[in-house]
Structure 1
Amino acid sequence: MTDYLDREHDKTFTKVYKQQTPDILKAFVQFDESVFQTEGRAIPLKYRELIALAVGITTQCVYCIDGHSQRAVKAGANDAELAEAAWVATAIRAGGGFAHGRLGFKFGASAVDPEHTH
């Protein structure tokens, strides 16, 4: 994974956003800071970070997994909570495969010639 993720060097590429789309970058940073502000939200920060970790695992974003697992621990999450967040993500991802697999049956059935069905 270290071949893919370089915490220090990868950040240097943010300069492209700063140069090309500074207004969007500013809006995104403000949005992200609002979502993950320490106080003033109905869901405590630790749980928002665990949700973010699960989403990162589901989308397979190594940057999100890295950042939100660390932030979750800093917000008070323990190994058991990290493990459960990972299992939740795994269940949702598997459930998506199950549900979308049904579409294969549905679309496959539409390919059958009605004269050849029993």
Structure 2
Amino acid sequence: MSDYYDRTEDKKFTAVYKKETPDILAAFSAFDSAVFAAEGREIPLKYRELIALAVGITTQCVYCIDAHSQNAVKAGATDGELAEAAWVATAIRAGGGYAHGRLAFKLGGAGDHQH
């Protein structure tokens, strides 16, 4: 999917949202602005951006990775913090695979089969 990513050109397609669903776009923009407000939140912006980066890595959203890695750095994140956020995301993805893999035993009737 990242083969289709173009940092500059892709933003032009926001015009479709503006034309077709301006009310929803405005609500989303207000929500996003509140979540990432520089002040007035319990979690400092740098950490919210690092969380967003980790989520973006976990969901493999190149747009989120691009924006939130830059925003995290602007908010004071170091390369070490970016690296740890990436490793947190990696651990969660791996842990999800491990945990959901257990469903194969549960749903496959583990213990019901003779090998």
Map 1:23-42 onto structure 2 (within 5 A). 23-42=23-42
Runs of 4+ in 1 over 4 A off after TM superposition: none
Question: Which residue number corresponds to residue 83 of structure 2?
Answer: 83
Q: Which runs of 5+ in 2 are unaligned?
A: none
| TM-score normalised per structure 1 | 0.91
Question: Which whole-Å deviations, capped at 9, do the CAs of 1:48-88 have from their partners, x for residues lacking one?
Answer: 00000000000000000000000000000000000000000
Question: Which residue number corresponds to residue 103 of structure 1?
Answer: 103
Tell me if 1:10 matches 2:14.
no
How many corresponding residue pairs?
114
Cα RMSD after superposing both structures = 1.8
Rounded Cα–Cα distance in structure 2 between residues aligned with 1:83 and 1:61:
17
| TM-score normalised per structure 2 | 0.93
The answer to whether the Cα contact below 8 Å between 2:2 and 2:62 also exists between their aligned partners in 1 is no
Q: Which runs of 5+ in 1 are unaligned?
A: none
